[in-house]
Structure 1
């Protein structure tokens, strides 16, 4: 048993003991909030961690299992910063679920059932491993277990009360069952057996109602309120001497696309603003993150983001980016080029009615094909408006980060990304069950 797996077993035992103690006085505050963690065999979660180095097309994931999925500290004296890999979200979420104050051991009393299945880690054998030609099988072994082990739990509400976390974009689990041979991805979300459960993904598709996107994990996981407030203070007082920053790769091909347009405009921009009264020393800066060099080294991009007013968030292989949440964490106003990058994704964490209060939207078609200049658009935004937007970005920070497990009581009073996701799941399930009771179709 690996060190990471052993520590998780210890946490699970402690959680069971605390559950019996805490539930005695929690009945009122937990009304309509009870969650049952479905007990799954280790083959569906902890055993998958053992294979962390067995996928030749991926880098070794084993270093990122430490600290219950937060990864190793960025340096020995760090208390809040880790080399976090987004693929560890399932492990991070599972560990935090063990601390959830409204757990019940009786599934009949639960308002929701959490399946601690590491779907994205299990998908690796279909995406990169020996089962690449049988990806339509992904999830069937879980379904068979749920069908034969206390099947009344899964069928009680036709599985509408079940939810799980999938630490990849939903597209990676959406290959049509009819594809033969498989193209890319598994067919987990296309299996009729799981149409009713709620899947929390890093990126959702535009139409399926069973999916909902939750923030990518950043590298910042504070254990107490003091460290969070210290970071907020640093982000607020940081001197913003750069107008716009792009941290990422791509954009070097000849084909027209938004990343190429950003690189061209940034590289051709004058070194400073033409207005002598401008607060900016630099109009545009690029942090080259090609070949994944930034993924587990937050210092590479967080320091530049702290110095930038706007952080450009162009879509890449998929519309969403972890960089969106890194930028918010740095107090850098995100600039989006299509709605699917965030506005149509993270409604529980980035409030939709107020989206324009903390972000800028520039249609990518206007930039790529009609010559709109991004820097001109950003320079025209009044300074007072910029200050208001930045303050709103800073207000979002506590709700988009995943705090460290076993955090201090003071920090637990502030809802983080996990807390908001749980609130959203419970509301979603409650609404769906009400519709079913009223005979309203949820499709």
Structure 2
């Protein structure tokens, strides 16, 4: 029997997992139909019942509620939740059930969604008892969709029209099959069985064609346009007294790295005459060590609202959830390597527009050549800073995940899910055309 907090989620998924086609949508949905594979619950809902069993991984039971959005930050909140990014597979699944162009007929579908909670299923290999068998991750799923459940759906395009969400960086699923003994990660994306499937992940590797990057979820999930517009107004009117902010951890070792350089520069900035730069504070550091900020947006959102620039140095991997928190706060992101965002989120943050909403400073110049971040940012004219902030605010809807069941007005604004679906459909269409030519 699943925990009580899972019952509303399971009930909703069971009720809405069989789409009904409206006759009015037949023309509108041309080339946009999506078929959802009907997987046994061992591949999704059953995985949620183990939410507290991983001793070296946080108990994620509280973050399952509200269909993966997590608990509200406070009782009266309608838009803010304690969202864990690893729950994106639930969030996306629930939202896709509202997609207007669902079909019961796989033969007319332009894309096939596989509602497999890959990141959650990976936990048993990453933190559980099956670390030495991580090469098996995904094989049971492949056997089911290829050989057991309507294999003709897979065979029609050999999996090229299938896609799934993987709520972890791709590096966590790309351990070489040759590793013996296994090290960190599973080998899901190294299995040739899944080479044709489009995988939407938080962070892609630089070379595989099957991976596409989509935004980390923030804690803001507005259910209606009024609440969304209210937040945008607050962002636009917020007084920016701080030049730059870094919310994160690390940088405490003596080894040269960009986080250490940021910390040192932030500490030394207090000795500078801030008034000459037009800010009352040149640098603010929000210590998010040991995960204290992960489920508590209050810790970092207010400081971000007060800063003009938010620094986004790479950590264990190039990307950061903080990039999207910063955009949500109207804080201009500052990147230190191109793989942190520019080479990741082409659907949501178009590469050609990066100079309009962000700053790029090579980390090597900061760490080894003594370049001061303060000098770079204060050299940007204030009028340009205002234009960049307006561009950030303009892009804000593209990186948030609105609440499921949101109002018609809110649904008129394309959010991260809408854009990911559009990009996936176009990508699959192009891929199928390439295969036909071959």
Q: Please provide the CA RMSD for this pair.
A: 1.1
Match of 2:119 in 1: 120
Within a 5 Å distance, the mapping from 1:65-80 to structure 2 comes to: 65-80=64-79
2:38 is aligned to 39
Per-residue deviation, 1:6: 2.1
Contact 1:44/1:142, CA 8 A, preserved across alignment: yes
Map Cα deviations across residues 101-130 of structure 1 (whole Å, 9 max, x no partner): 000011111110000000000000000101
- Partners of 1:408 and 1:273 in 2: CA distance: 49
Residues 271 and 283 in structure 1, CA contact (< 8 A), matched pair in contact too? no
Give the whole-Å Cα distance in 2 for the aligned partners of 1:194 and 1:3: 35
Deviation at 1:275, TM superposition (A): 4.8
Matched, 1:319 2:318: yes
Q: CA deviation at 1:98?
A: 0.6
CA distance in 2, matches of 1:231, 1:272: 33
Counterparts of 2:273 and 2:309 in 1: how far apart (Å)? 14
Please list, as runs of the form range in 1=range in 2, the aligned pairs for 1:348-359 lying within 5 A after superposition: 348-359=347-358
Q: Which residue of structure 2 lines up, in the alignment, with residue 201 of structure 1? A: 201
Query: What TM-score, normalized by structure 2, do the two folds share?
Result: 0.98
CA offset digits 1:39-70 (Å, max 9, x no partner): 00000000000000000001111010000000
* Secondary structure in structure 2 of the residue aligned to 1:229: helix
Matched, 1:183 2:183: yes
Q: Which secondary structure state, in structure 2, belongs to the residue aligned with residue 51 of structure 1?
A: coil
Is 1:11 aligned to residue 9 of structure 2?
A: no
Partner of 1:29: 28
Distance in 2 separating the partners of 1:213 and 1:429: 15
CA–CA separation in structure 2 for the residues paired with 1:47 and 1:275? 58
Name the CA shift for 1:353/1:289 in 2 (closer, same or farther; >3 Å): same
Aligned-pair CA distance for 1:273? 4.5
Distance 2:273 2:57 in 1: 42
The question of 1:165 aligning with 2:152 is answered no
- Compute the TM-score of the two structures, normalised by the length of structure 1: 0.97
Q: Quote how far apart the aligned CAs of 1:2 are.
A: 2.6
Q: Matched residues in 2 for 1:274 and 1:404: separation?
A: 41
For structure 2, the 5+ residue unaligned runs are: none
Alignment correspondent of 2:154: 154
Match of 2:60 in 1: 61
Contact 1:123/1:186 (CA < 8 Å) preserved in 2? yes
TM-aligned CA distance change 1:162 to 1:4, over 3 Å: farther
From the superposition, tell whether residues 375 and 290 of structure 1 become closer, same or farther in structure 2 (CA, over 3 Å): same
Rounded to whole Å, the distance in 2 between the matches of 1:403 and 1:82 is 11
d(CA) in 1 for partners of 2:69, 2:178:
37
Offset at 1:25?
A: 1.2
Report the CA distance shift for 1:174/1:229 in structure 2 as closer, same or farther (over 3 A): same
Distance 1:433 1:169 in 2: 26
Equivalence for 1:301: 300
Instruction: Please report how far the alpha carbon of residue 172 of structure 1 lies from its aligned counterpart in structure 2 after TM superposition.
Output: 0.3
Report Cα offsets for 1:399-431 as digits up to 9, x if no partner.
100000000000000000000000000000000
Is the CA contact 1:246–1:285 (under 8 Å) kept in the aligned structure 2?
A: yes
Query: How far apart in 1 are the matches of 2:283 and 2:313?
Result: 15
Checking the alignment, whether the CA contact within 8 Å between 2:274 and 2:282 is kept in structure 1 is no
The answer to whether the Cα contact below 8 Å between 2:274 and 2:281 also exists between their aligned partners in 1 is no
Query: SS in structure 1 opposite 2:167?
Result: strand
Structure 1: state its 5+ residue gaps: none
Q: What is residue 88 of structure 1 aligned with on the other side?
A: 87
* Residue of structure 2 equivalent to 1:374: 373
Give 4+ residue runs of structure 1 displaced > 3 Å after superposition. 271-276
What's the offset of the Cα at 1:154? 1.0
